[in-house]
Chains A and B, each alone.
Chain A
Amino acid sequence: MYEHDVLVVGAGGAGLRAAIAAHEEGADVAMVTKLHPVRSHTGAAEGGINAALHPEDSWELHAYDTMKGSDYLGDAPAVETFAQDAPDEVIQLEHWGMPFSREEDGTVSQRPFGGLSHPRTTYAGAETGHHLLHTMYEQVVKRGIEVYEEWQVLNLAVTDHDDVEDRECHGVVAYDIASGTIEGFSARDGVILATGGPGQVFDHTTNAVANSGDGYAMAYRAGVPLEDMEFVQFHPTTLPSTGVLISEGVRGEGGILYNEDEERFMFEHGYANNEGELASRDVVSRAELTEVNEGRGIEDEYVHLDMRHLGEERILDRLENILHLAEDFEGVDGLDEPMPVKPGQHYQMGGVECDENGQTCIDGLYAAGETACVSLHGANRLGGNALPELLVFGARAGSHAAGADMKEAEIQTGPSAKSEDGDLGADVEIGAVGAGDAAVAADGAAVESGEVLSRAVERERERVETLLEEDGINHAHVRDDIQETMTENVNVFRREENLVEALEDIREARERYQHVAASDPSRTYNTDVLHTMETRNIIDIAEAITAGALAREEFRGAHWREQYQFRDDEEWLKHTLLAWNDGSPELYYKPVELEAEKEYEPKERSY
């Protein structure tokens, strides 16, 4: 068994920032991560980091833009904390050596991005995430923070009190990929989940293969509700054949979208008469798919993103990476021809319910970064807001877990924050199949810390043993089916019958998952076992996304419903929560908080 004060699960941007913050607070902190830190998908972020640095800009404007972008589903305390902390975080990164793009006077450059009222996006070429990731990993190396790399966390060690708000997290169970050893990691002060997004739920995604949403699923099964999971961002500019992201920076620098008739459809078809290509991502994604559905797509599949008019010098200076991506993954020379693009799954706005300090309703369990839902992004995330989010809330979670003296959070979490019961409105079963799938043991209450961890270790050892020894079906087939039905039925445009169909498909996949096994018998670097475990997480998340999408009968931000074409503030100014409830999920709501230092009156969202 290993023991530390604070354990950070995942070593992307949020995890690294949390670990540094906890270390600065004097904690003995360790990171447990299935990938070496520099392999994390934060490295694929391209566009930039929003922060109100300019004297004419202000945190209030950033907060206002973020709230508007969220379609008034962000919580004001989260949005304001974020906008206030972001500038310091960006300067901190610069002081750590981040190679930001610069102005002639040597100051950090800022460029326009969608949905922003001021050019607020700092960047390092079109590879901002790569530099952010490496810069922070360097700081982790400098501080000598322990990293258990290529250790996959399989589950959390959480007590099984009936009331989830009485539960405590004492550590994690992890699997050493190289040797197949399963060990307990005890956390004296806190466990921070920073495992990134769940893009592998879909088959056309900008996310990495490793983005199987492990943190969401582990927290969910331990009792923390998942919040607003129906809000999935589909990025408007991904390469059609692979899902590789083409940064919003291209449009920020002046790139133009054209349909097959070479119309600048964002304006000519009235999708966003003021902002055009720089409207919010949900607006642009729907516009592109509408063009395709109405027969104006190229090869009935995609539209064109043209940046040739920017000139070679500017492109090479600010967007060089885009040229490489278009060339390597689509065979297109962006200097010479327009690039084909279409919407692809990109970001999960919803996530593990937590407050401004990253705390969930389970004592000692935190979430940060994409895994978390504070809620900052509400129904739609603005471009350039994910990287400052992982900095701001990663740092806060790390400090809080390490015992820093911080202002008490305003955002309420856990079942006690419930304001209203929910109803799925369809006759489909969700949740665990039988009792065997329940994550929390039913074999007597385990509440003492050492016992909780050792029992959790035993459970995972047995589970892996079973996967290795028994014969069964290949998890990859189950995963394929989930990805297929999600992409077909729970995409940008959502219809009730499709959502129900998806839930039925997910149910079937869940039943088939009961019969999976690994066919690789080896203990050495057994990725078959790992991917099989991930697929279980993918199933839980797919179900949570779809259940939320079916329940929410309105059109808000990224969530579009055929039958409900308006934002319904009367009925739906509230967060969707899905609690695992020991295998029989419960859907409920809590109100949105639109007031903190400022008040945010919901307005019509036009760009």
Chain B
Amino acid sequence: MSTQIEQQEAEEEDEAETEIEPAEKPHQERRLSEKRARAEANERQRREREAVREAENDIRIKVFRYDPEVEGKEEPRFDDFRVPFHKGMTVLDALIYARDHYDSSLTFRHSCRQAVCGSDALFVNGQQRLGCKTQIADLETPVRIEPLPHQDVVKDLVVDMEHFYEQMHAVEPYFQPDDLPEGELEEQRQTPENREKVKMSTRCIWCGACMSSCNIAAGDNQYLGPAAINKAYRFAMDEREGENAKQERIETIEQEHGVWRCQTQFSCTEVCPKDIPLTEHIQELKREAVKSNLKFW
């Protein structure tokens, strides 16, 4: 489909949208007075023209579209949008602009805009990245934006995260100490070194980029995947958990679809937006598993 141009009357905008989703708009009378709509459109148009003029240039994004129940979208396709560029613009900014100015049905998850909620992991120009953390200026244009590969697409850029969450839950992702201090207001002790050891592993934001990048996970649906194994690492290496808990954790990650599946391709580590050394953590757990097996030999 063609690029949508923003210098349109409100009515034309609606027509343009009708072209995308023919026969889906019920043909009802417009409820609002046309005068009000025109006044709004004119004002908006003026502001937007200014915005475009102010911008040095604009950029093109190609966005994956799919909706199982909307005619014209059941077959996946790409839509082009031209958005005014500004310094510091991220992929997420571009998507928000396209949604709020051209097509409000454009659908993607996002919330914090600062790389901590993990909602907007996307496949941008062929790599898993967080939309909010990826500068447009760093990318070749047109910027191609797709949903995370190897996950079912729900709609447009939204994927079904259920499998990812199941794998995360499969490693008993909660702290299991042998015992706790009983004194009033007494915390468990942890050395700064041990805290440092688990620090990177605790930064995971559950975005799913690693799982999506992993060839093994793509071929083995039961593979725990880098994020879940990293979660197990976070607890197994925390000295506040006892030896028993650690032993159980090793058994969990050592199972058929656990650490030994990893072929150390480092794709997860490369795409992790929080720079967690996932592959290293997996390797270290492999060594722990070997040590633990030797102990019981």
| A182 CA to B100 CA, complexed, in Å | 25
| A476 CA to B234 CA, complexed, in Å | 41
User: Quick one: which of A516-546 are within 8 Å of B by CB?
Assistant: 518-528
Query: Which one of B99, B112, B118, B175 has the greatest number of beta carbons of chain A within 10 Å?
Result: B112
Query: Are B107 and A38 in contact, CB atoms less than 8 angstroms apart?
Result: no
Q: Which of A43, A88, A127 sits near B112, CB closer than 8 Å?
A: A43
Query: Are A208 and B113 in contact, CB atoms less than 8 angstroms apart?
Result: yes
Residues of B within 8 A of A576 (CB): none
User: Quick one: which of A428-452 are within 8 Å of B by CB?
Assistant: none
A130 within 8 A of B: yes
Query: Are A241 and B88 in contact, CB atoms less than 8 angstroms apart?
Result: yes
A101 within 8 A of B: yes
Query: Are B32 and A515 in contact, CB atoms less than 8 angstroms apart?
Result: yes
Residues of B within 8 A of A473 (CB): 10, 32, 37, 40
Residues of A within 8 A of B195 (CB): 99-102
Query: Are A520 and B104 in contact, CB atoms less than 8 angstroms apart?
Result: yes
Closest chain B CB from A197 CB (angstroms): 12
Query: Are B114 and A244 in contact, CB atoms less than 8 angstroms apart?
Result: yes
Q: Which residues of B contact A (CB under 8 A)?
A: 10, 14, 17, 21, 24-26, 28, 30-32, 36-37, 40, 44, 67-70, 87-88, 99-100, 103-105, 107-119, 133, 154-156, 158, 161, 165, 169, 172-175, 177, 180, 185-192, 195, 198-199, 202-203, 205-206, 235, 238, 240-241
Query: Are A471 and B25 in contact, CB atoms less than 8 angstroms apart?
Result: yes
Residues of A within 8 A of B235 (CB): 97
Residues of A within 8 A of B21 (CB): 521
A103 within 8 A of B: yes
Query: Are B174 and A97 in contact, CB atoms less than 8 angstroms apart?
Result: yes
| A522 CA to B20 CA, complexed, in Å | 13
With A331-B88, A472-B31, A512-B40 already in contact, the answer to whether A522 and B67 are too (CB < 8 A) is yes
Stretch in A137-145, A290-298, A486-494, A561-569 touching the partner: A137-145
With A471-B28, A525-B154 already in contact, the answer to whether A107 and B175 are too (CB < 8 A) is no
Residues of B within 8 A of A41 (CB): 111-112, 117
Closest chain A CB from B100 CB (angstroms): 4
Q: Which of A36, A88, A100, A242 sits near B165, CB closer than 8 Å?
A: A36
Query: Are A91 and B186 in contact, CB atoms less than 8 angstroms apart?
Result: yes
Closest chain A CB from B152 CB (angstroms): 11
Q: Which of B105, B114, B189, B199 sits near A107, CB closer than 8 Å?
A: B189
Query: Are B36 and A512 in contact, CB atoms less than 8 angstroms apart?
Result: yes
Q: Which of B25, B68, B103, B118 sits near A39, CB closer than 8 Å?
A: B118
With A35-B111, A138-B173, A521-B21 already in contact, the answer to whether A105 and B202 are too (CB < 8 A) is no
| A135 CA to B30 CA, complexed, in Å | 50
| A328 CA to B107 CA, complexed, in Å | 24
Residues of A within 8 A of B112 (CB): 39, 41, 43-44, 208-209
Residues of B within 8 A of A108 (CB): 187
Query: Are B199 and A99 in contact, CB atoms less than 8 angstroms apart?
Result: yes
Query: Are A99 and B69 in contact, CB atoms less than 8 angstroms apart?
Result: no
Q: Which of B24, B99, B116, B161 sits near A127, CB closer than 8 Å?
A: B116
Query: Are A527 and B113 in contact, CB atoms less than 8 angstroms apart?
Result: no
A225 within 8 A of B: no
Residues of B within 8 A of A53 (CB): 185
With A141-B169, A522-B105 already in contact, the answer to whether A44 and B187 are too (CB < 8 A) is no
Q: Count how many pairs of residues, one from A and one from B, have CB atoms less than 8 Å apart in the complex.
A: 186
Q: Which residues of A contact B (CB under 8 A)?
A: 35-36, 38-41, 43-44, 53, 87-88, 91, 94-97, 99-108, 124-125, 127, 130-131, 134-135, 138-139, 141-142, 178, 208-210, 241-245, 324-325, 328-331, 469-474, 476-477, 480, 512, 515, 518-528
Q: Report, nearest first, the 4 A-B pairs whose CB atoms are least far apart.
A: A97-B175, A106-B189, A520-B105, A515-B32
With A96-B175, A101-B195 already in contact, the answer to whether A40 and B117 are too (CB < 8 A) is yes
**26 contacts across the A-B interface (CB closer than 8 A):** A39-B112, A39-B119, A94-B188, A95-B188, A97-B235, A99-B202, A100-B187, A102-B191, A103-B192, A106-B189, A134-B202, A138-B175, A141-B174, A178-B154, A209-B111, A209-B113, A241-B87, A244-B114, A471-B25, A472-B30, A473-B40, A474-B104, A519-B103, A521-B24, A524-B69, A528-B104
Query: Are B158 and A525 in contact, CB atoms less than 8 angstroms apart?
Result: yes
Closest chain A CB from B98 CB (angstroms): 11
Identify whether the interface residues of B are mostly helix, strand, loop, or mixed: loop
With A102-B192, A127-B116, A138-B174 already in contact, the answer to whether A94 and B105 are too (CB < 8 A) is no
Residues of A within 8 A of B67 (CB): 522, 524
With A38-B118, A512-B36 already in contact, the answer to whether A524 and B68 are too (CB < 8 A) is yes
| A43 CA to B113 CA, complexed, in Å | 12
Residues of A within 8 A of B70 (CB): 521-522
Query: Are B116 and A44 in contact, CB atoms less than 8 angstroms apart?
Result: yes
Residues of A within 8 A of B241 (CB): 97
| A141 CA to B175 CA, complexed, in Å | 11
Q: A38-B117, A97-B177 are in contact. List 14 more A-B contacts (CB 8 A).
A: A44-B116, A44-B117, A96-B174, A100-B195, A104-B192, A127-B203, A209-B110, A242-B88, A515-B31, A519-B103, A520-B107, A522-B67, A522-B105, A526-B105
Residues of B within 8 A of A101 (CB): 192, 195
Q: Output the nearest chain A residue to B30 by Cβ-Cβ distance.
A: A471
Residues of B within 8 A of A96 (CB): 174-175
Query: Are B117 and A43 in contact, CB atoms less than 8 angstroms apart?
Result: yes
Residues of B within 8 A of A526 (CB): 105, 107
With A520-B105, A521-B70 already in contact, the answer to whether A38 and B206 are too (CB < 8 A) is yes
With A97-B240, A469-B26 already in contact, the answer to whether A36 and B174 are too (CB < 8 A) is no
